[in-house]
Structure 1
Amino acid sequence: MSISLTPAARQRMLDFLARDSNAKAVRFGVKRTGCSGYSYVVDLADSIRDDDHWIEDAGVRLVVDAKSLPLVDGTAIDFQKKGLNAEFVFHNPNTTGECGCGESFTVG
């Protein structure tokens, strides 16, 4: 599994983990939704499942479920602040298209 975090994304995830003593990791994956097919999910994980794949990056354990892994393998995750908005930004080499609003993506 090859997923990378920029320093900004890593720090944001460390901040989330520090606020929840039950969190074991950050879960990254996809869900079916939107007009293009999939959207990203980033959440805290209270447990790590048997079928999860994981990486450790400078104190952040990032877990990905087996179904999401082929869709997100190779993704670079960044965190950006723009004015009052702040969001994770995903650079995924597996995407073949995105919807007009940027909320969902397709894979080939």
Structure 2
Amino acid sequence: MAITLTPVALERVQRFVEQTPAALGLRFGVTRTGCSGWGHVADLARDEREGDTVFEFAGVKIYVDATSLPLVDGTEIDFAKQGLSETFIFRNPNAAAECGCGESFTTTADAA
């Protein structure tokens, strides 16, 4: 599978990478957080780490660590502007449930 970007998210990530000379691409993964357990994390990748899986999407490299990969594989990343707010939106097929505020998620494996 892979991590994909919608056209608007791709444009946004390309702009961030172009404006940051040390950036190699996008680092995407998860962290323990919130009431449901996992939260998505996206930042600029400044290095390739041992165990990373690197996806390439329309010329943008996406770095995912080994712990995060089974939790985010297949995710589509989108970007939206809502009023004064701008945010990345993650459509993660591995998310079995989300908390009420949408900040964190659980997987089927978490429920087991």
TM-score by length of 2: 0.92
Aligned: 1:45 with 2:35: no
CA-atom RMSD in angstroms: 0.9
Q: Percent identity?
A: 56
Ranges in structure 2 where 5+ consecutive residues have no aligned partner? none
Q: Alpha-carbon deviation of 1:45?
A: 1.2
Point out 4+ residue stretches in structure 1 off by more than 3 angstroms: none
Offset, 1:59: 2.1
Paired AA for residue 64 in structure 1: V
Structure 1: runs of 5 or more not aligned: none
User: What is the rounded CA distance, in whole Å, between the counterparts of 1:81 and 1:49 in structure 2?
Assistant: 32
Task: Compute the TM-score of the two structures, normalised by the length of structure 1.
Answer: 0.96
Q: Cα distance, 1:50 vs. partner? A: 2.4
Equivalent residue number for residue 3 of structure 2: 3
| Residues 1:63 and 2:56 are matched in the alignment | no
Q: Which amino acid in structure 1 is aligned with residue 60 of structure 2?
A: V
Distance across 2 between alignment mates of 1:26 and 1:75:
14
The aligned residue for residue 22 of structure 1 is 22
CA distance in 2 between partners of 1:93 and 1:56 (Å) = 19
Mapped to 2, the partners of 1:62 and 1:10 lie a distance apart of: 11
Write the distance in 2 (CA, Å) between the matches of 1:3 and 1:43.
14
